[in-house]
Chains A and B, each alone.
Chain A
């Protein structure tokens, strides 16, 4: 039968294995029109596979899919689309040099007298944009001129133009800047008001609490629980996701005795992107660097590491002024940078765990080769990497394990100053916890840690002091355990901040 347009979808007892490895082991999920249903779980819990089963990309081995009470089976994504189910993927699928309308109707352009009916295409696209309340986007605009958030809107309009009534969104905020996240929230709420059923897959706890009506938790491919959002606390969620009580979230902070000499000092440092920075980070200390996207947080990290060097002021390492104009100099001075994009510039993905662990040592240092053989296992042990062996290519590892390898490659050269930019982005709760412990452990061993994070709970939980940036300069300093409101107030440049 051809199913009608879905207003509700029920998945029951879905199982799916790949080459004999079970990924979904009996998952139930119900999506209703006008409801945001969040799915949470650690990496590898089966969220993405579930999404792909719903979208008709994977055929389940067992279990049933019902659309408005009638059982269906999708042989392909087209079948799912016909039933009104569409997925907004993490990677956008738009052609940058075509207009919004052309993208929305790509491959199914309306035709009139053997010609593409541009007028109708533009009119229909405008109608959908208006329906969503997104008047700011002109259907005739080139997609390349749009912001990431606007592109996401176009993706959603594209899905709606196929009469989708069920939308699956995979980590929709991953590519967005902080201020764009609010726009997405509004959009999702408007979609909900208009009766669309939304499946929302995300790592970010706060988003899920802000947006969702119900939450389903998966663990190791199994259904753990499904409950209205109001009945769950974040502690409940973490417990369900990791299957154990994490108790307190963050390792103990430094006590005054832990603090040693000033390892990294910036004195009036600045360049094109940041200015007048006076920062000191002591041995044994984790200093948090907060700020909105674009406030210059990452620019500080890149300047300290010599990627885009400071052009004014002083940079001192262990009290000695240094000119750091390229990463190699920084590495040799004992400065390490864990970048925010571990796949883009942190790891060589096709190289082995071992080769990545030794990357810094081999690339930047000399004469250390002889020692290299024995201590790789020890390093991997310290960062608790789980892999099939040290010769496995890192691209096969989970995000959390990849990040641990990034840390291992820096531990291999025993840095004095460690700058970490979004150290736990996109990794699961268990790995997050491990990364936090590694960072604190390094601090205890005398490393000065400067930590940048967009996740305020993490930043506040980990930092011994918090520096807040606004518009390329320091807006203020807060003590350990400051409130999110206080951080946001400084970050937004207002006396009274709002917690986004």
Chain B
């Protein structure tokens, strides 16, 4: 059997969009004449791409995670206060931030699966709780400072043969993306998508639907913590660092052709959706469009992407209603034997 690349249904458009945006950048911005420009773009996009990967797990299994933006803010604020400029505290604070993300994901997942509250509501509630807690804790202005060691992941770069200086965040992103893609090819990943498609079928096939859902929320929380670490380094400490990131991540996932409600879409395409979004904002910036328009643009994108997906599936269905069929394994033989 010869291997050929196979795209999950609905993922082709985002790759085209991304390519067009990259070409647009090459034309519009002199910085994009060489690889370093694109590396810088990737570095900027890395936190959102990681959030989109986390959001993908939740959306493809049939839920939403609205808490990730607040979780990012919480992660940065907590880290700044606990480290308070001390290098020696860096390592355990990083572990603590990751643990906090995991814990928030666990709570989101347990409330969703055990108390049967829709994830939209659970994570909206979590968003408000985290927002309130951060405000209470910081009084509106975060205290403390991050250490240089902490900020290295978001800001620093490492020498890689051939490529030269590659940002840490890009390496972390690549590692996560590869791991996520491999996970989604494996049995657990496929079962996760199947849960988003038909929960009853998975349950009656002996699958543990609740555990799979829980796993998606935990991964989303964990990856939000990773994004917090990168963003803290990249953008510094503020109580607004994660504002609106949950919707940006959802937009990215939808732009990547992942079906809202679950059951279809690829994690690589979701990450490509996040990169496209970042590339689009960069391009608009280069063209002199006001940054204030970003959220409006994002709003239009999410509506258009979902409309395209619903329209698209109708069109696709009509195209495939009477496909030429063939036997998968061998030529069809008459049933009379």
Chain A: residues with CB nearer than 8 A to chain B?
Answer: 18-19, 21, 23, 44, 244-247, 305, 307, 327-328, 330-332, 337, 339, 344-351, 353, 355-356, 358-365, 369, 372, 377-378, 380-381, 384-393, 396, 409, 430, 433-434, 437
Contacts and interface: CB of A to CB of B under 8 A. Distances in A.
12 contacts: A347-B201, A348-B202, A349-B197, A359-B194, A359-B202, A361-B187, A362-B191, A363-B187, A369-B187, A381-B329, A384-B332, A388-B324
Contact of B186 (A332, A369, A389, A396): A369
A346 B321 contact: no
A392 B326 CA distance: 11
Contact of B206 (A330, A356, A430): A330
Contact of A348 (B187, B194, B322): B194
Mostly, the B contact residues are loop
B207 A363 contact: yes
Interface in B72-106: none
A363 B328 contact: no
Interface in B178-210: 186-188, 190-191, 193-194, 197-198, 200-208
A299 to B, nearest CB: 15
Nearest to B329: A381
Contact of A378 (B318, B329, B332): B329
B165 interface: no
A348 B201 contact: yes
Interface in B238-289: 259, 263-264
A362 B190 contact: yes
B328 A244 contact: no
CB-based closest 5 A-B pairs: A364-B206, A363-B207, A331-B206, A362-B187, A381-B329
Given A350-B197, A362-B188, A19 B206 contact: no
A363 B327 contact: no
B197 A18 contact: no
B323 A345 contact: no
Contacts of B9: 393
A305 B332 CA distance: 34
B325 interface: yes
Contacts of A386: 325-328, 332
Nearest to B9: A393
B190 A358 contact: yes
A365 to B, nearest CB: 8
Contact of A391 (B6, B259, B324, B333): B6
Contacts of B187: 358, 361-363, 369, 372
Given A344-B200, A362-B190, A363-B194, A247 B206 contact: no
Given A345-B200, A380-B329, A363 B264 contact: no
B164 interface: no
Most A-side CB within 10 Å, residue of B203, B320, B327, B328: B328
A19 B318 contact: yes
A327 B203 contact: yes
A339 B204 contact: yes
A74 B198 CA distance: 39
B161 interface: no
B327 A244 contact: no
B81 to A, nearest CB: 42
B330 interface: yes
Interface residues of B, number: 43
Nearest to A433: B335
A340 to B, nearest CB: 12
Contacts of A345: 198, 200-201, 203-204
Most buried by B among A23, A356, A369: A356
Contacts of A307: 204
B200 to A, nearest CB: 4
Nearest to B330: A381
A246 B318 CA distance: 33
Contacts of A348: 193-194, 197-198, 201-202, 263
A377 B328 contact: yes
A62 B317 CA distance: 24
Contact of B201 (A246, A346, A377, A437): A346
Nearest to A353: B328
A307 B206 CA distance: 10
B328 A381 contact: yes
Contacts, number: 137
Contact of A434 (B197, B206, B318, B335): B335
A47 to B, nearest CB: 14
Given A19-B318, A351-B193, A388 B206 contact: no
Contacts of A362: 187-188, 190-191, 207
Q: Which of B6, B200, B329 has the most CB of A within 10 A?
A: B329
Contacts of B259: 350
B334 to A, nearest CB: 7
A332 B254 CA distance: 37
B190 A351 contact: yes
B163 interface: no
B329 A364 contact: no
B336 interface: yes
A305 B204 CA distance: 9
A372 B328 CA distance: 16
B205 A364 contact: yes
Nearest to B195: A348
Given A246-B336, A327-B203, A363-B206, A388 B329 contact: no
B319 interface: yes
Interface string B295-337: 0000000000000000000000111111111111110111111
Contacts of B320: 396
A363 to B, nearest CB: 3
Contacts of B335: 384, 430, 433-434, 437
Nearest to A413: B206
Interface centre among B6, B202, B263 (most CB of A within 10 A): B202
Which of B198, B263, B334 has the largest number of chain A CB atoms within 10 A?
A: B198
A131 B193 CA distance: 52
Nearest to A379: B329
Given A327-B203, A331-B206, A362-B188, A351 B6 contact: no
Contact of A384 (B194, B323, B327): B327
Contacts of A327: 203-206
Nearest to A307: B204
A477 B154 CA distance: 74
A259 to B, nearest CB: 24
A107 B325 CA distance: 42
Given A348-B201, A433-B335, A355 B194 contact: yes
Contact of B194 (A328, A351, A390): A351
Interface in B215-244: none
Given A348-B263, A358-B190, A388 B198 contact: no
A384 B322 CA distance: 19
A5 B204 CA distance: 51
A25 to B, nearest CB: 13
Nearest to B320: A396
Given A381-B330, A386-B328, A437-B335, 20 more contacts: A18-B321, A18-B322, A327-B205, A328-B206, A331-B205, A345-B203, A346-B204, A351-B197, A355-B190, A359-B191, A359-B202, A363-B187, A369-B187, A380-B329, A384-B332, A384-B333, A386-B325, A386-B332, A388-B323, A430-B335
